[in-house]
């Protein structure tokens, strides 16, 4: 029975890979048209209000991230040194909030940043870490109601890990869902794919970072990423040698 279930999952993933490749091909053309529109708007930005130019810059950054994800979606678990650089987890957190704050504003959800400036940089693929942060923050926002708060926090006070956390006071996770939350294709969302958290774990795996959570139904949820500080320091040294 277990072997049959594994085979079904394997077939699903193979089919998903083929569908993804086809979708990427179809999405590229409209994205190119959107990029041309933004490029034109940048040419006339001096005649636009400041709020509009800021919105254009954020949208262009989001578009660049979509293009990056499309280029790398079929190899997202590979640790490709070409894209790795000396990164600040705090700065990536700020970028994630800037890209996603409009979703929070629509629900009147407050986002708070509590960042520890003493934590070291890490040698990462910035876009992959950004994708993980955005997925987890989006989940937190979706679990919240109007007027709730989502807090993003970094900590360097743990003796073994550099900690990144996203904390919400939303609906929480039931005991039944806790056991299934990292399973591929399992979702409690009406339009969800059930791949978000398993993708996050896979993106973090090359950096030996651990993803975990605590949650109380009706109180809220905290997702925690634990980065190995020794690996981060080693990677910083490698980056300084190569630069």
pLDDT score, position 243: 39
Residue scoring higher pLDDT (132 or 233): 132
Domain with 152 in it: what CATH number? 3.30.565.10
Across the chain, what does the average pLDDT equal? Answer: 79
23 and 133 co-located in one domain: no
* Domain finish residue from 43, 75, 107: 75
pLDDT tens figures, 186-211: 555 554 444 578 888 888 888 889 99
For the stretch 22-27, contacts whose Cβ atoms lie closer than 8 Å and that sit 24 or more positions apart, written own/partner, are 24/70, 24/73, 27/70
pLDDT > 90? residue 115: yes
Cα Rg, the chain, nearest whole Å: 19
Quote the pTM value.
Answer: 0.67
Domain identity same for 155 and 136: yes
Average pLDDT over residues 125-140: 91
Are 149 and 222 members of one domain? yes
> Domains in the chain: how many in total?
2
pLDDT tens, position by position, 27-37:
777 887 888 88
61-111 pLDDT, tens per residue? Answer: 888 777 766 766 655 545 555 668 889 999 999 999 998 888 899 899 999
Query: In the prediction, which pLDDT does 136 show?
Result: 94
Residues 27 and 94 in one domain: no
Mean pLDDT of 43-47: 83
Higher-confidence position of 70 and 174: 174
Residue 61 to residue 95: CA distance in whole angstroms: 10
Q: What does the pLDDT read at residue 194?
A: 41
Structural domain that includes position 41: 2-75
- Residue 211 and residue 107 in one domain: yes
Spatial neighbors of 33 by CB under 8 A, at least 6 apart, are none
Quickly count helices (H) and strands (E) in the chain: 7, 7
């Amino acid at each position: 029975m277990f072997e049959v279930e594994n085979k079904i999952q394997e077939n699903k993933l193979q089919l998903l890979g083929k569908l993804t490749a086809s979708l990427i091909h179809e999405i590229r053309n409209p994205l190119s048209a959107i990029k041309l529109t933004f490029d034109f708007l940048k040419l006339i930005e001096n005649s636009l209000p400041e709020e509009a130019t800021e919105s254009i810059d954020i949208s262009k950054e989001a578009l660049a991230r979509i293009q990056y994800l499309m280029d790398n979606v079929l190899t997202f678990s590979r640790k490709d040194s070409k894209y790795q650089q000396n990164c600040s987890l705090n700065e990536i957190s700020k970028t994630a909030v800037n890209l996603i704050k409009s979703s929070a504003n629509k629900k009147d959800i407050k986002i708070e940043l509590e960042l520890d400036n003493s934590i070291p940089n890490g040698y990462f693929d910035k876009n992959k870490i950004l994708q993980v942060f955005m997925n987890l923050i989006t989940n937190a926002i979706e679990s919240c109601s109007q007027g709730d708060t989502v807090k993003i926090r970094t900590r360097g006070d743990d003796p073994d890990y550099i900690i990144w956390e996203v904390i919400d006071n939303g609906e929480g996770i039931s005991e039944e869902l806790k056991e299934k939350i990292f399973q591929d294709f399992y979702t409690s969302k009406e339009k969800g794919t059930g791949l978000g958290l398993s993708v996050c774990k896979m993106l973090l795996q090359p950096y030996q970072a651990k993803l975990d959570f605590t949650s109380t139904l009706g109180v809220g949820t905290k997702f925690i990423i634990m980065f190995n500080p020794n690996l981060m320091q080693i990677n910083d040294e490698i980056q300084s040698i190569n630069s």
